[in-house]
Amino acid sequence: MVKLGLSSFRRILLSRLLLLSVPVLLAGVYVTYTKARSLLLDSARQNLTESAVLHAQSIQESIAALKANLVSASEAVALKSESPTAYQKFVEQLAQLLPHQIDCVQLMELQSKAIAASTCANQLLTNRPTFVSSVQQSQSFANRSQVEVTILLPKHPSRNPSTTLTSQLYPPKSTSKLKLVLSAPVYNRSGQLQFALIIQSALLQTPASQRQILSSYPVVINQEGQVLTHHYQEPVAQKITDKINREEEQEGLKRVFGKAIAQEQDVAEPSYWIKNNVELTAGYTSIPSPITAELGQKWVILAVTPVDIALAGLKEIQHVLLIFTCGLIGATLLATMYVARELARPLEQLRDYALNQSQFLPYDRIPQNFKIREVNQLSEAFGGMIERMKHWAEELEATWKEAQTANKFKNEFLANTSHELRTPLNAIIGCLRLIRDGFCDNREEEIDFLQRADHAAMHLLEIINDVLDMAKIEAGKLSVKIEPIYLWELLDEVINLQTIPIQQKGLEFHTSDLHQGIIVPADPAKLKQVLINVVGMEDLTGSYQLPFTLGIGGLVLSALIVLATRPPANQRRPGIGP
């Protein structure tokens, strides 16, 4: 009977395989996803580092070109004339001829600080260039070393409530330009310093070679930690400055800033948090500060991008991994079901064979030839056990039949023993009653009957001894004592034992001459018992006439029992008593 709460081997095997394989599969997918994310971040940081290097090169090259153009323009003939109209026309032409990074051009008279010509309305770009006190007041031409560079920090834009995170991260291009003011001395015809030619430039235009690299925006920070340009100047610049100045908030950004100043490249650089919980990652480099007042210092150029953009390709990987994971789980389930079936089916076949063994035909064989060696060994052992059980069953059945036969023989033996016990008892009872009832004519006849009773009693004792020796008979240790005996004396004893019972039944017993001395080798008790059974067969067979012939050594003994009168029905059955 199947107990409640038990599960099948196939179900247990299936569940264990799934519990083992599915977590391993999910762990593998997670490791793959983590590795893909790490590789994408590493690739993004390498690209950002390249972007930062390109931005730095762009700044240096643009400033060098602007210095060269500015020095060349300061030597123009128009600036050596005394015509304000020529000044204005030259400034306007210069603004058109210079690269598009130029916002405006201005010519300022140094002594009066008045605007001689300008494309920047009436606002002075600088109060007084520092080269006024450092350069020679009389000189024919200016050189690049005399060009002064200053930074023009833009005014903080007002907060717009409708500004979205996307517009903060990707503002218009003009808000992320690095505004510089370059001033070069201009000498008149007499070689005296008279004017300052000033241009305002907006650098950090995206180079053509950078347009295929990861989208990012530049951040320029001077060595003092001041943000010089950023796409959303007020909130983000202040946050970065605070992170650099306050060590307890963000050691990572300060460490990267120090590495950039020391020109130590580390691809695995920084991710940090800004407002609205947007995570950023950046590549960095450093350049010598182009600002005249910051000689010996450095600028840190960061190429910054949100991590979500750096990991834009991860969404496709996630989609592929999701499909791949679902497919692998389905394939794992099918493979697990197949493996569980292949492993459990042999045991199920052996179970079915064992449960249906009573219905199998004798020639049905136990399932064999499995693919698993241990199951084949189990099948062979199981088959051998069944064969042994069949052999034992056959032996048990044979033993049972033998027991039945032995029981039958025992019953027959008990019946024979009852008859054998009854015969001497009847002889004893008959002799004693004849003496008691006074049928004896003389003392000799009484002694003769008593002698017969004594012989019957001794024979009864022998029978009882034989019954007590049943254990010897069952053990096969019954001994037969062979000795020479007089056959006729033995027959005479048998006849004497049977005479009275035969006469009581109304029978007559006739024998031939029994006084011949025949000696035969036999066990007296066993032979006497056989003869008594033969003579007393009438009681068992119900015959009224029993002829028999006994051949011993060529001699024939003939006896005939003749019915004198028909006995009553109750005397034709075996039993003790008349």
pLDDT of residue 156: 52
Given a cut of 80, whether residue 555 has pLDDT beyond it is no
Separation of alpha carbons 73 and 83, rounded Å = 17
Closest CA to 320 of 29, 526, 112, 17: 29
Instruction: Give pLDDT tens digits for 283-313.
Output: 888 888 888 777 788 888 888 888 888 888 8
Sign of the Cα torsion 264, 267, 273, 275 reads: positive
For the chain, what percent of residues have pLDDT higher than 70?
69
Within a 10 A sphere around the Cβ of 75, how many other Cβ atoms?
15
- Choose one of 301, 316, 331: the last residue of a domain: 316
Rounded mean pLDDT, 332-359: 78
Question: Higher confidence at residue 118 or residue 280?
Answer: 118
What is the value of pTM for the model shown? 0.55
Q: Look up the CATH number of the domain holding residue 512.
A: 1.10.287.130
pLDDT of residue 52: 86
The answer to whether position 358 is within a domain reads no
The answer to whether position 377 is within a domain reads no
The answer to whether position 389 is within a domain reads no
Same domain, 309 and 411: no
- Model confidence at 125, pLDDT cuts 50, 70, 90, reads confident
- Model confidence at 568, pLDDT cuts 50, 70, 90, reads very low
Rounded mean pLDDT, 91-111: 81
- Choose one of 285, 316, 347: the last residue of a domain: 316
pLDDT of residue 300: 86
Same domain, 298 and 411: no
Same domain, 420 and 310: no
Within a 10 A sphere around the Cβ of 94, how many other Cβ atoms?
23
> Helix H segments across 117-250?
131-134, 165-169, 233-245
The answer to whether position 342 is within a domain reads no
pLDDT of residue 14: 84
The chain-wide mean pLDDT, for the chain, equals: 73
The answer to whether position 340 is within a domain reads no
Closest CA to 325 of 24, 538, 11, 25: 25
Give the structural domain span for 191: 9-154+173-316
Same domain, 462 and 559: yes
| Structure token digits, residue 422 | 């009854």
Same domain, 422 and 517: yes
Contacts 24+ apart (CB under 8 A), 107-110: 107/79, 107/186, 107/195, 107/196, 107/197, 107/198, 108/195, 108/196, 108/198, 109/194, 109/195, 110/193, 110/194, 110/195, 110/196
- Model confidence at 227, pLDDT cuts 50, 70, 90, reads confident
Q: How many domains does the chain have?
A: 2
- Three-state DSSP at 116 gives strand
Of 128-137, 388-397, 443-452, where does mean pLDDT reach its minimum?
Answer: 128-137
Sign of the Cα torsion 263, 264, 270, 272 reads: negative
Same domain, 419 and 566: yes
Instruction: Give pLDDT tens digits for 186-210.
Output: 888 777 888 888 888 888 765 544 4
Given a cut of 70, whether residue 388 has pLDDT beyond it is yes
The answer to whether position 374 is within a domain reads no
- Choose one of 289, 316, 343: the last residue of a domain: 316
Rounded mean pLDDT, 503-524: 71
Same domain, 312 and 407: no
The answer to whether position 556 is within a domain reads yes
Of 70-84, 259-273, 544-558, where does mean pLDDT reach its minimum?
Answer: 544-558
The answer to whether position 335 is within a domain reads no
